[in-house]
Each structure stands twice: as structure tokens, then as C-alpha cells.
Amino acid sequence: MATVTFDHIYKRYGQDVIAVNDLNLEVKDGEFLVLVGPSGCGKTTALRCVAGLEDISDGRLLIGDRVVNNVAPKDRDIAMVFQSYALYPHMTVYDNLAFGLKLRKMNKAEIDKRVKDGAGILGLEKFLDRKPKALSGGQRQRVALGRAIVREPSVFLMDEPLSNLDAKLRVQTRAEIARLHQRLGTTTIYVTHDQVEAMTMGDRICVMKDGLLQQVGSPQELYDHPVNIFVAGFIGSPSMNFATTKSEGKDLIFGGAKLELTGAQARAAESRPDGAQVLIGFRPEHIEIANGQDGSAVRFPAKVDVVEYLGNEELIHAQAEGNEVVALLPSDRKVGVGDNVDLAVPMEKLHIFDPESEKTLVG
């Protein structure tokens, strides 16, 4: 068990490329922290810095209260699950699990016990004599997990461990890893580009972009209160709608419609000079068909382009004041293509951003 602390961590390649830029983050003891972001955002590099597979250019990395910048991977008391699983192809499953323990000169009986226990947890008992080649993708993935857990390290590092699995297996394994974490309670840093994985698995999520940390928080914090346009657009599926408006007192002018704001949203609009551009954001699942909502919602007209039927819900693509808007509505709303509808967004679900700094104005 241990904390992991990134203290002003930089990772540079050559002169120009900064893969990780001044990362400050503390992973709490026993926490499941997800590093998420688009490819090239530096999340994998950050993870490899913890593993000791990349040298840290600047800053201090602590595992527990020990600075490990110059500690070899083998002495960091970590275990890593790789995207490709990286199983030793010339060894049986048993030997794959036992390899790390043998290197640590553990006695045979203890090794045997740990391997059998680990195999039991992951349902691998039947495959212990097989080579990785004779296993399915899902089984290999479990061996990779098993190799990490038998070591009983103080930190697990996982680098997109689910990305080579098919959709169904991915959902299963996602739950399996979550269960495993609940059972073992080991500090885990998990890298993924998939925001659904991040939302479902993380105790906290750290969103990164271009080497910079954007926001850290619980899944709900990120969903409800994204600090900037990037996080707002990245978290949530389908992603948030954005539209440009102009501020006018405590209200916003959206094309021909006037959005009358109250509360925090009104204060956000007031903080901008009249006529200044303001970006609004609202999630597809928060849009409703206007039905006599009072001042607790903003309303604007839209014309329906496309209706995608999903069963109990429909994805409505509509044009609103020159902006493409996607709305997720219950399918009993009976909205048809070409219909003119009034859409409403509850006031507290309306996000307001400064288009220049890209930061939220709703504090």
C-alpha cells in the first residue's frame, strides 16, 4: 500500500517535445486513479515514469514517502499490466505468474501458494500448464493481471489493458478489474483513452491533454462541473453541445432567442461585458422538449434533421440558430424529421465558458 506523488514532473524528448508538462498529482493510498485523455496527451508517458521505464526530466516522483526518480523499476515495488499483455511466450502460465517471485528468491512453497491463489481469483487454474499461445485474448489478459497480483506490490500500473479485447469481453473485464481492486485495495493507476472506462472504474479521474493536467476529480465532479471546454467535451457520451452566444446583462443572446438566466449562470453572464462572445454548453441527455418550463430553464427553437432510434431513447440531430445540436430524448416523444420544436435546458445544467481562456465561467 502506498501513495504516489507527482511533484512538478516534466518529461521532455529532445528540445521541443514536452510529453508531460509540470504534472502535480497525488494518488491516495488504495485509490483507483484513471489517467485519461486523447492519444499523445502524455498519460502513458506519465505512467511509464512511475514504472521507471522513462527517465524523469524534472521534478520528483514519490512512491510512499520515498523519492524514486533514480530507483530501478524492479526496486519500486510496482507491477504493471501492459496493453499487449507482454506475457513470456516461452513459459507456461504458471511460470509467467511465478517469474517475478522466483527472481525475488521466494521459497518454492510460498511461490506455489501465491500462484495458486492468484490463479484461483482469476479463474486460471485450468490453464496453468498452457503456454500463452494456447490461450484466448481474454485469458491472456487475465494472466497479465495475475502476474501483477501475485507479486502483491504496493502499486498497480495498468496501460490500456482492455484495448485489445472485443466489446463484450471489455465490459466483463472492466467489472472484473473493479472487483479485484475492491478486494485487494491496492493503489492503482490506470491509463485509458476511453472516457467510459474512466467514468465507470475510477475513484478519481485525471484528464490530460498535450502533456498538461486539465482536471482531477471524481467522475461526477468531472461530469457536473468540467473546468474547461476540453474536459466538458471529452467526458460524457454523446459529447456536450456547444454554441456561441452574446452576453447582454445577465442574459445571453442565442441567434434570435434570448436565454434568460438566473443564479450562478446569470452571474457568469454578468461577469462579461455586453456584446462579448460567450460559449454555452449543454449535454444531449439534459435537453427536453419545452413544455411550459418556467424560469428554471432556458428555451430555444430548433428544426429536426435526423432521428436515430436507439430503442428506449432517440438521438435527435437538430439545427438551432445555426448550430448543430444533439439531443437524447425518450423515444415516446414522437419527434419527426423536419419538425420545429422548442428545446429546453434546465438552468443548473447549462455550462458557460469564456471562448478565449476556454475556462468555465460558472464557478
Name the site residues for other proteins (rule: CB under 8 A).
Answer: 51-53, 72-74, 78-80, 82-84, 86, 88-90, 99-100, 103-104, 147, 151
CB 363 within 8 A of CB 264: yes
Minimum CB separation of residue 159 from other proteins in Å reads: 9
C-beta closer to other proteins: residue 52 or 281: 52
Q: Where is 324: in which H helix or E strand?
A: strand 323-330
> From CA 286, how far away is CA 224, in angstroms rounded?
11
DSSP H helices, 104-213, are 108-122, 137-150, 167-184, 195-201
C-beta closer to other proteins: residue 74 or 113: 74
Minimum CB separation of residue 153 from other proteins in Å reads: 9
C-beta closer to other proteins: residue 42 or 52: 52
Supply 198's cell numbers.
474512466
Minimum CB separation of residue 2 from other proteins in Å reads: 16
C-beta closer to other proteins: residue 58 or 75: 75
> Taking the chain, what is the end-to-end CA distance rounded to the nearest angstrom?
36
C-beta closer to other proteins: residue 100 or 226: 100
Q: Minimal CA–CA distance to 235: which of 281, 189, 286, 194? A: 194
Residue 65, CA distances (Å) to 5, 47, 76, 101, 352 in order: 9, 18, 12, 25, 40
Minimum CB separation of residue 148 from other proteins in Å reads: 9
> From CA 252, how far away is CA 132, in angstroms rounded?
60
